Amino acid sequence: MSIIDLTSMGEPQKDIKNQINNRLKKLQDEVSEFCYQCAKCTSGCEAHKLLELEPHKIVALLKRGLIDEMLNSDVIWTCMSCFKCRERCPQKVAPVEILFALKNIAVASGKPIPGKYSAMLQSILSNGLIQDVQTISDRNNQAIKRDKLNLPDLSKPVDTNKFQLVLSKLAIEKI
């Protein structure tokens, strides 16, 4: 089943959206209060280096209730979910959790998902991998495949249909 099939069958999920809104409210009330804007999260953020995501600003915006502004911004989709911001924060605030909640609300509200996310989801649904196996090049620009390096084949789901069903169910339960 393609991600396009899955999303076109889906409908805006108000109950789930309410649950996520509550989670965001909890993060706003209980977590963002502890942030003292030291920006240690941002200085280690991989996406900040590449895409100007500034996790400390996400926390500040949440604290000020500027949620719609973040939902309508592309910046929420630039997080790579590396969890560095959670590890680095001296106050145990996790900007990544805020970004997860925002992304979930965006999806539950029927906002469009960036194409690269859809492609990644499609690859997971089809192969169990976030992207196809890559071929690398050596210094002479010769393509090298895994088997040439004596690397084993990557494991893939044995039963793709079952895998897709379980994944879809889990995605809905955990959203």
Binding positions for ligand SF4, rule: CB under 6 A: 35-41, 45-47, 53, 55-56, 59, 79-85, 88-89, 91, 93, 95-96, 99
Distance of closest approach, residue 51 Cβ to ligand SF4, in angstroms: 9
Q: Phi and psi for 137 in degrees, rounded to 5?
A: -115, 145
User: Is there a contact between 99 and 79 (Cβ–Cβ < 8 Å)?
Assistant: yes
Q: Give yes or no for a contact between 122 and 2, defined as CB atoms under 8 angstroms apart.
A: yes
Given the complex with ligand SF4, which of 83 and 156 has the nearer CB atom? 83
Q: Rounded CA gap, 152 and 86, in Å?
A: 33
By C-beta, is 96 or 108 nearer to ligand SF4? 96
SS3 70: helix
CB of 145 to ligand SF4, least distance (A): 30
Residue placing its CB nearer to ligand SF4 in the complex, 43 or 160: 43
Could you tell me the smallest distance in angstroms from the CB atom of residue 67 to ligand SF4? 17
DSSP single-letter state for residue 30? I
